[in-house]
């Protein structure tokens, strides 16, 4: 009997079983690192954290879950993960550290399915995360079994966060905002974008985050890539970064200025803030996801610089865009299937408003909100105004 509480999993087997039943799936074969990590309860093998390739193949973790039978769950791992299991055993009743590549990983998974689920079964896969050589082996092994896209099952399973998950996302957001304030304060006239980004990487790492990216603009430029462009007195800085804390994303954007913000800059950021607050006001459990989009867009339509400003919102958690999906192809290519559905307490949203001002540059706020029963909680609230550069 599996002790779910001891395993500290962020989901219930009952919910997973229900989602699988609705999707017509008997056996779930998870091959993405983020979903394997989620199903395992937060574990990801550090050796392949940055790069999957090894030898002629790649690292492919495989988690096999049989609907209604968690005692048959298997984790197919790289051979080196035996040491990880020895130190902190995985909850999965079957652990197979046998692989070095994608073919032997899926071969072990096939053997497990045949041993524990004989007959024609409906197999749920992640098409975007299943290599071609693995997919062919799986199809050849089960010629009578339909392969079902299980992407939606995992998205819905992850959509509502537990208190422990919310705590991680809050800590990640607060750490990013603190790192940004330290970075802006320490940046001086003449410091390049490359230097400022490197400072942010160190600041985030020092706070326990795994640095993922930084998108940075200086002055009137809208180019957010690293370069030798140097920050000059009076110019604005936009700093947008994602950091990962034990598998959960923090994604924030804040503004800086080298000197004191003039009246125009104060007014421009106030326009951004007005749109953000309008969207925030529509967030609560039970409200339609599309309500916050409508509120943000309505507020944007009243702003003087609406022609060069964009607003959007999306779900986030283990990855940067996940359920709830609130807008269609804006900016990432997916359907806004959740716009008409009620938000649930525990969902996490990223709300962002971006102005591409022709003279003053890239002005943006991006905030992370957790949906609550009565409204919302903003994670990482510090530094939402103009942060002064060169003061540290």
Task: Name the DSSP class of 343.
Answer: P
Q: 356 - beta bridge partners?
A: 362
The pLDDT of residue 4: 55
* Beta carbons of 2 and 71 less than 8 angstroms apart: yes
In 3D, which of 361, 355, 79 has the Cα closest to residue 234? Answer: 361
Mean pLDDT of 307-319: 98
- Report the CATH number of the 4-158 domain: 3.40.350.10
pLDDT 10s digits, 235-294: 999 999 999 999 999 999 999 999 999 999 999 999 999 999 999 999 999 999 999 999
Percent of the chain with pLDDT over 70: 98
pLDDT 10s digits, 180-199: 999 999 999 999 999 999 99
Q: Where are the domains of the chain?
A: 4-158, 163-388
- CATH number 3.90.230.10 is the correct assignment for the domain at 163-388: yes
* Beta carbons of 292 and 284 less than 8 angstroms apart: no
The pLDDT of residue 1: 54
Evaluate if residue 359 carries a pLDDT over 90. Answer: yes
Q: In this structure, which long-range contacts are made by residues 84-89, counting pairs with CB atoms below 8 Å and at least 24 apart in sequence?
A: 84/43, 84/45, 88/43
pLDDT 10s digits, 48-104: 988 999 999 999 999 999 999 999 999 999 999 999 999 999 999 999 999 999 999
Give the confidence band of 6 by pLDDT, cuts at 50, 70, 90.
low
HSE at residue 234, side-chain half, CA atoms within 13 A, is: 6
- Enter the pTM of the model: 0.95
Supply the mean pLDDT for the chain. 97
CB atoms within 10 A of CB 120: 12
Same fold, 4-158 and 163-388: no
Residue keyed to tokens 């007014």: 267
């Amino acid at each position: 009997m599996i002790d779910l509480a001891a395993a500290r999993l962020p989901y219930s087997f009952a919910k997973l079983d229900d989602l699988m039943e609705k999707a017509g799936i008997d056996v779930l074969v998870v091959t993405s690192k983020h979903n394997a990590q989620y199903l395992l309860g937060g574990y990801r093998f550090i050796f392949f954290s940055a790069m999957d390739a090894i030898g002629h193949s790649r690292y492919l973790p495989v988690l096999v879950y049989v609907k209604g039978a968690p005692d048959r769950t298997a984790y197919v791992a790289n051979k080196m993960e035996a040491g990880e299991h020895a130190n902190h055993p995985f909850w999965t009743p079957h652990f197979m550290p046998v692989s070095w590549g994608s073919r032997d990983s899926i071969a072990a998974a096939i053997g497990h399915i045949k041993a524990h689920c004989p007959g024609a079964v409906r197999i749920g896969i992640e098409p975007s995360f299943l290599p071609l050589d693995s997919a062919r082996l799986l199809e050849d092994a089960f010629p009578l079994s339909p392969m079902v896209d299980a992407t939606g099952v995992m998205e819905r399973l992850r959509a509502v966060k537990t208190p422990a998950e919310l705590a991680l996302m809050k800590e990640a957001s607060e750490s990013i905002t603190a790192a940004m304030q330290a970075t802006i304060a320490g940046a001086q006239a003449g410091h390049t974008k490359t230097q400022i980004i490197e400072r942010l990487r160190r600041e985030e790492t020092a706070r326990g985050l795994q640095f993922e990216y930084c998108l940075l603009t200086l002055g009137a430029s809208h180019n957010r890539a690293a370069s030798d462009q140097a920050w000059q007195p009076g110019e604005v800085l936009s700093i947008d970064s994602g950091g990962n804390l034990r598998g959960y994303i923090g994604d924030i954007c804040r503004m800086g200025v080298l000197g004191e913000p003039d009246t125009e800059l104060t007014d421009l950021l106030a326009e951004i803030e007005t749109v953000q607050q309008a969207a925030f006001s529509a967030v609560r459990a039970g409200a339609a996801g599309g309500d916050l989009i409508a509120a943000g867009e309505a507020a944007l339509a009243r702003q003087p610089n609406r022609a060069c400003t964009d607003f959007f919102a999306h779900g986030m958690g283990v990855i940067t865009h996940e359920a709830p999906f609130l807008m269609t192809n804006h900016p990432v290519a997916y359907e806004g299937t959740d716009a008409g559905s009620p938000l649930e307490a525990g969902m996490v949203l990223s709300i962002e408003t971006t102005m591409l001002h022709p003279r003053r540059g890239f002005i943006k706020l991006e905030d992370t909100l957790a949906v609550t029963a009565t409204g919302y909680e903003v994670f990482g609230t510090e530094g939402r105004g103009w942060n002064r550069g060169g003061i540290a």
